[in-house]
Amino acid sequence: MIRALLCATAVCLATPALAQSHGAESHQHRHADFTSDRLHVRVDGEGGPGVRDIILIPGLSSSPRVWQGTVEHLGAGWRVHRIHIQGFAGAPVAGNAQGPVAAPVAEEIARYIAEQGLEKPAVVGHSMGGTIGMMLAARHPDAVGRLMVVDMMPFMGAMFGQPGTNPTVEAVTPIADMVLAQMLSAPEDAYRAQAAQTVAAMVRDEAAEPMILADTAASDRTVSSNAYRELIVTDLRPELAGITAPTRVIYVAFDFPGMTPEMTDGIYRASFATLPGAELTRIDDAAHFVFIDQPGAFFAELDAFLAE
Secondary-structure class of domain 2-307 per CATH: alpha beta
Q: For the chain, give every domain's residue range.
A: 2-307
The CA-atom distances, in angstroms, between 95 and each of 35, 59, 100 are: 12, 18, 10
Q: Which residues contact 206 (CB under 8 A, 6 or more apart)?
A: none
pLDDT at 162: 67
* CB contact at 8 A, 85 and 60: no
Coil/strand/helix, residue 162: coil
pLDDT at 215: 78
Regions of the chain short of the pLDDT cut 50? 1-24, 26-27
The model's pLDDT over 160-177, given as tens digits with 9 standing for 90+, comes to 876 667 789 999 999 999
* CB contact at 8 A, 213 and 199: yes
pLDDT at 201: 82
